[in-house]
Structure 1
Amino acid sequence: MTTYYIGLMSGTSLDGIDAALLDLRQRPHLLAQHSHPLPDPLRQQLYQLQTPGENELSTMMRLDVELGRLFAEAVHALLAKADKRAGEIAAIGSHGQTLRHYPDGPTPSTLQIGDPNLIAELTGITTVADLRRRDLAAGGQGAPLVPAFHAAMFHRDGSNRAILNLGGIANLTLLPADNQAAVTGFDTGPGNGLLDSWIARHQQQRYDRDGEWAASGHVHPGLLERLLHDPYFARPPPKSTGREYFNLNWLQPALEPFADLAPRDVQATLCELSARSIAEALQAAMDPVEEVLICGGGIHNRALYQRLEALLTPARLASTAEAGLDPDWVEAAAFAWLAKQTLAGDPGNLPSVTGASHPVVLGGIYPGKGPRAEGRVTRDEEKLHHEDTKA
């Protein structure tokens, strides 16, 4: 039986589709990776759809199809790069693109698009998708889902270790030294998302390369304190959030008393907001923390990394590459692993992270072009059918 799985991830930063091929025979091993660009018109439409607007339903339906086709393209490109055939792949785990995430209140809900029916049809590979809503149905936040994979991949006995994913939103996984203790984790708040949005507005750049623009400005203490007073930061876990909350509309009221503040100083303050909110959340949740392994696009933001290093001393900061997995591909790898869990009938959530009432098998399964899809049944299925009719 094949042990190859593909993970697809398009995060809140909207910087492209990450496709990762893994061998999950034992410890996850990354075989190949591919970054598939989002065309600028599509990226802009997705960004606009992440905040309320007009005619959302027809736009969402169209983008669901466009993204499904693009995810399938990413899979074909990855297979070509890895010199693998579709028939060698057990399954694809597709996170999809989150448009809204509302885990609290009387009707908790979350929405990811990127039609898995199209992915399965166009690749011929069984696809596991819609991975968040079953956890919500069980009373959880539906996020973050990657801590279960972090625990499988990065836990080390005898050391309090944290995994920090610096995407558009930052999230933490806390791996206690005692392997019998519960793994916990939560979204801390902004990672790169506000930084990306602010530089896009003022310099028409998709991201702040190396954090150079933030480093050129000065942190404004008054603005920083206003931002840090948002109730989300004080809420205890379990908690999760997204770009539908932390966006430029969220920022605007806090900026009003500081109308003359230079854009670069706002960028510096947003960088400090990410660093401070992460450091304070981590220190409150795990004391002491000895090592922090960082993954996600934010690891390349030198200004943010240096502030985290200063704020988290004496904890040691390092890339997840030191523990065997390239930091740019951890999330995509996690969704390949979650697909394997689902096909095996094993839970993929951690109630200690999401707050769900119990572990659940995540997602829906969309069959590829195997015996079922071609209208055939296996000998084992024929035997079962024969026994059922006799009964």
Structure 2
Amino acid sequence: MANVKVAVRVRPLSKRENAEEGRIIVEVDNKVAKVRNIKVFQDLGTSVLSGAFKGYNICLFAYGQTGSGKTYTMMGTPASVGLTPRICEGLFSRQDDYSEQPASCRVEVSFLEIYNERVRDLLKQSDHKKPYTLRVREHPETGPYVQGLSQHLVTDYKQVVGLLEEGIAKRITAATHIHDASSRSHAIFTIHYTQAILENNLPSEIASKINLVDLAGSERADPSYCKDRITEGANINKSLVTLGIVISTLAQNSQMFSSCQSINSITSEGDSSPVGSHTTGSVSGTRRQAYIPYRDSILTWLLKDSLGGNSKTIMVATISPASSSYNETMSTLRYASNAKNIINKPRVNEVRPLPRLYYLHIF
């Protein structure tokens, strides 16, 4: 008996593939053939667009240690465009299969960073004589927002790219023992996408908010760092620890809620008497959901609606394959494992009739 012998041979790119700027995604190392999947946008970006077109709030954030590829995934490079610019491009080249009815659209963007627990507008010229810190407030209906954050109306993809490049250039970076230009701040690029539609021949609007978040990298403190790097690292780790607590608590609450629902369902089916109903209530009442410390950091406060609230949320966990990064890799995977248990409550944002003159003037 003998196994079938298999050989794999990989040819170079053809003239046609070169002309189409194809990328080599197959690599053969000794007896191991590796195929890289580069369809991250098809896997994640299209679902962001689909949700936004239907009127849902969306949050997509990248989490992982320094140098694991968060900024590359979210922003990319001129040669390899990331999720954020590709999502923006998709908004302006809307495909017919996302929605059956045509709509006039309005797109506004903002770009902020959270550095040392302070919020800074990346798209506004700052006066160095005044502190750039912006205040975070909370609206009773729409939730947390940044007071004074500039909103920029954009009418094409080129304008978005210009604003992205402007904001990225202002982000605070520094060299660490892992990465030469590590992001020392959390960055949130927000798109307010408003659609004007005709509902029963009356003008209405659907508004969705897309949060695209590039988190600062988690890392161990290095005693050789200067005071500024240590302070930055402490604040980064504080916000990421808080994010971890929020994710973990939300996951526990979601599982508890699911368990109570199951118990209540079984109890109701097993006993329809008033006594049975009373028992159901006592089962639910004994399980109090844990307090969620959103306000313990600016990051989690601003992401409050995206974590356990009115949003469809996607987490991209980026990890390093190196053995030296074992602890950080395991930590990132624990975050991801907890995050997938969170139950959000996304809903299409209210469709409300608009005066016809407003509709014609704005859109």
**TM-score (norm: length of structure 2):** 0.25
**TM-score between both structures, scaled by the size of structure 1:** 0.23
